[in-house]
Amino acid sequence: MPDAGSNQLNGAEAMVRMLEAHGAKHIFGLCGDTTLPFYDALQRLNHGMTHILTRDERHAGYMADAYARVTHKPGICEGPSGGGATYILPGLVEAGESSVPVLGITSDVSVASNGHYPLTELSQKDLFRPLTKYNNVINLAGELPSMVRAAFRAMTTGRPGSAHLALPYDVQTAPVTESEIWAQSDFETYPAWPAAPSDDAVDGFVKALTAAKNPLIICGGGVVLAGGEAELQRLAEGLNIAVATTVSGQGSLSDLHPNCLGVVGSNGGVVETRAVVEEADLIIFVGCRAGSVTTERWRFPAMGSKIAHIDSDPMAVSANYHTDIPLIGDARLTLAAINVALEADGVDGVDFGGATRITKARETKFAAFEELSTSNETPIRPERLIADLNDVLPDDAVLIADPGTPCPYISAYYRVDRPGRHFISNRAHGALGYSLSAAIGAQIGRPDAKIVAMMGDGSFGMAVGEFETVTRLGLPITYIVVSNSVYGWIKAGQKSGFDERYFSVDFNRTDHAAVAEAFGIKSWTVDDPGQLKFVLAEAVKHDGPTLVDVITQPLQDARAPVSEWVA
């Protein structure tokens, strides 16, 4: 078998060297029969990468996703053929739709055995084709280097996204010329090769903005993905414009900044924040797809509103609203160009009074929150949990939440006094079971930060096996289970929209603390609101993995910041 110093490598060795050449430092994955040559190459070669053995391919994808979000480097996950390929797919789908570059590498049956019914055969190219930005099966070993380069180029340029490569067993043992092993450093981080909008588009935007009386910026995830937080703050402060965010857009501006309205839409938005959207005479979407949640099913803003839209993906612009001012470009570069143009035109001193306009909405929203967050009722109110987290978590913490019960409370009321990536939720497809494993990727990607994962007990049951990974690696993650023995989001929907016809949403209570203790995680159960803050503080400062099982009010009985239930 050739080694790394010869004129030829085998395909498995070439894959290792190509990942190394692209700056990869961590690989998340799970072994299988068809992956044996790749694992052997990882074991033998000196490559500087760390392989994180996971207990499930789906969670390897979620780890790579969160890792990419906190590092601005593509995440790498891998798994075997057959069931491994089908299990890894959800992580690639979530990353792709969230504009996060994750490369999924799946091994495959030998090319020579295709069509002969070998175990685990399936058409991986067909499986991944509609769900990734780049997808290929490496049927010839000589094509491997160029396909890996193409995958990294596709993942990191334009609108970032996920990619998939299938690596058949016999290709892993076939020769690859060593001189073909090279990479372009541009694609080690994202966004690579960001594009700025045209001068005409920027000029048109400046004219429309200065003609407005009450503009509102709504930021999606594109600002943080592009690293555009400083340019956004410069624009917001320079003209005193109000800024709202989507759930994915949290961190575009500090939650405590006077110009930050907070989250709008049907998940985390409230009546008062909706009113600010209704009153605006110019809506400026920045890195935001203006989807159903952000706009409350395209009602706020109303159709016919004056719209400016900044996005690196032209297909996202004008997809849902007639767009008066389209600006196709990277969020950071576009905001920078706008700031330069405003200063050049001498209009950077305009004051739209945005901070004053949103003060009442913010005060009313948090007055209602304060009333509930100080309640000593049992089961513990979710608002009490968020308030105590606000008090005990350090400024550099990264909070990761599943999209069920935790998400609306965190998006509405959790407040971080700094911009950047400090909150993650899988908002593209909203699969339960994300946060437990995503926290592992985030902790490995940002080892000096405090990582906290918050989930409902439904999510806990879908991902609990990865606690073994947490304890094996000794990661100091704090897990919080919002425990109420129900698929709460669905039951709340049955209450509000189906006359309380509850069906198949309740399940038995699990002693989550006991389960976590069995994996070696220090755990507490809290049912007394008066003990909650103390226990959370103890869990956060512990130097190993911890879990706090919080017995909480079921979502269908709560006053959640979800507009359709209020209505």
334-362 residue pLDDT tens: 999 999 999 998 876 789 999 999 999 99
Centre a 10 Å sphere on the Cβ of residue 502 and count the other Cβ atoms it contains: 13
491 pLDDT more than 80: yes
Domain ranges of the chain: 8-188, 199-357, 374-566
- What percent of the chain lies above the pLDDT cut of 70? 99
| pLDDT band of 563, cuts 50, 70, 90 | confident
| pLDDT average, residue stretch 257-262 | 98
pLDDT tens per residue, range 48-81 = 999 999 999 999 999 999 999 999 999 999 999 9
Give the Cα separation of 344 and 406 in Å (integer).
45
- Supply 308's token pair: 């400016």
Give the Cα separation of 560 and 410 in Å (integer).
11
Domain covering 8-188: architecture = 3-Layer(aba) Sandwich (3.40)
In angstroms, what CA-CA distances link 292 with 288, 310, 346, 427, 463? 11, 18, 38, 12, 28
CATH of domain 374-566: 3.40.50.970
1 pLDDT more than 50: no
pLDDT tens per residue, range 202-242 = 999 999 999 999 999 999 999 999 999 999 999 999 999 99
- Supply 249's token pair: 């857009």
Q: Taking the mean position of all CA atoms in its chain, how far away is CA 563?
A: 23
Centre a 10 Å sphere on the Cβ of residue 112 and count the other Cβ atoms it contains: 11
**pLDDT at residue 269 in the model:** 93
Closest CA to 561 of 400, 425, 413: 413
5 pLDDT more than 90: no
Question: What average pLDDT does the chain have?
Answer: 95
Right CATH number for 199-357 from 3.40.50.1220, 2.40.50.1070, 3.10.20.600, 2.60.40.1180?
3.40.50.1220
Give the Cα separation of 58 and 50 in Å (integer).
19
Q: Taking the mean position of all CA atoms in its chain, how far away is CA 500?
A: 33
Please classify residue 443 by burial: count the beta carbons closer than 10 Å to its beta carbon, then call 0-12 exposed, 13-18 middle and 19+ buried: buried
pLDDT tens per residue, range 417-441 = 899 999 999 999 999 999 999 999 9
- What percent of the chain lies above the pLDDT cut of 90? 93
**pLDDT at residue 6 in the model:** 54
What SS3 state is found at 246?
Answer: coil
In angstroms, what CA-CA distances link 216 with 291, 328, 539? 17, 19, 39
Q: 245 CB contacts (<8 Å, ≥6 apart)?
A: 218, 219, 220, 251, 252, 253, 260, 261, 262, 263, 264
**pLDDT at residue 350 in the model:** 87
pLDDT tens per residue, range 440-449 = 999 999 999 9
Given a contact cutoff of 8 angstroms between Cβ atoms, the answer to whether 401 and 435 are in contact is yes
**pLDDT at residue 345 in the model:** 85
User: Can you tell me which residue has the tokens 């395909």?
Assistant: 11
| pLDDT average, residue stretch 293-299 | 96
What SS3 state is found at 509?
Answer: coil
Comparing 1-5, 159-163, 465-469, the range with the smallest average pLDDT is 1-5
- Supply 295's token pair: 């706009």
User: For residue 421, what are the β-bridge partners?
Assistant: none
**pLDDT at residue 440 in the model:** 98
Given a contact cutoff of 8 angstroms between Cβ atoms, the answer to whether 412 and 561 are in contact is yes
Q: Do domains 8-188 and 374-566 have the same CATH topology?
A: yes
pLDDT tens per residue, range 535-552 = 999 999 999 999 999 999
